[in-house]
Amino acid sequence: MKKVLIISFQVFHNVFDGGSLANRRNVEMAINVLGKENVDCFFINDNSKKSSIATMLQSAILFPFGYFYGLTPGKIRTIINVADKYDYIFINTSIFGIISKKLKEHGYKGIIINFFHNVESLYYEARVSKKFPLRNIVIDCAAKNDRYSIDYSDKSVGLCMRDSNIMQSLYGKPFDNIVPITFEDKCAGKNYDKQGFTSRKPKCYFIGSNFPANTEGLLWFVKNVLPHVDIDFKIIGKDMDLLKKSQPCLVDIPVFSNVPDLAPFFEEADFMIQWYPHIDVLKGTNLLSSAEDTKDVAEILYKHYESKLAGKNNIVLLMGHGNPDENYNANKKYSDMEKALQELAANNNIFVGTVDYGDMLFFPKKIEKEPANRIPVEGFDKTQYPDCMYSKVMSYCEKNGLNPSEVNVYLAPFMSIAGDHAHNDLWGLEAMAEDDDVSNVEINTNEYSWRERLEKLGFKVDRTFESHPIDQAGADHGIKDGCNMKALGSYPEIRQIWVNHLYENWNDDSAWENGEDYQPEA
Q: How confident is the model at residue 23 (pLDDT cuts 50, 70, 90)?
A: confident
Distance between CA atoms of residues 176 and 156, nearest Å? 5
Distance between CA atoms of residues 117 and 124, nearest Å? 12
User: In sequence order, what E strands does 119-210 have?
Assistant: 155-158, 177-178, 203-207
How much of the chain is helix, strand and coil, in % rounded to 5? 45, 15, 45
CB 180 within 8 A of CB 159: yes
CB 144 within 8 A of CB 120: no
Provide the mean pLDDT of the chain.
Answer: 85
User: Which domains, ranges and CATH numbers included, belong to the chain?
Assistant: 4-178 (3.40.50.2000), 197-272 (no CATH), 291-497 (3.40.50.1400)
Asked if residue 125 has pLDDT above 90, the reply is: no
Distance between CA atoms of residues 251 and 254, nearest Å? 8
pTM of the model: 0.51
Asked if residue 136 has pLDDT above 90, the reply is: no
Asked if residue 315 has pLDDT above 90, the reply is: yes
Q: Which residue has the higher pLDDT, 488 or 276?
A: 488
Residue pLDDT, tens place only, 439-466: 889 999 888 999 999 999 999 999 988 8
pLDDT at 431: 84
Torsion of CA 206, 211, 212, 215, to 10 degrees: 20
Residue pLDDT, tens place only, 399-409: 999 999 999 99
Q: What is the DSSP letter of 446?
A: T
pLDDT at 521: 42
Asked if residue 280 has pLDDT above 70, the reply is: no
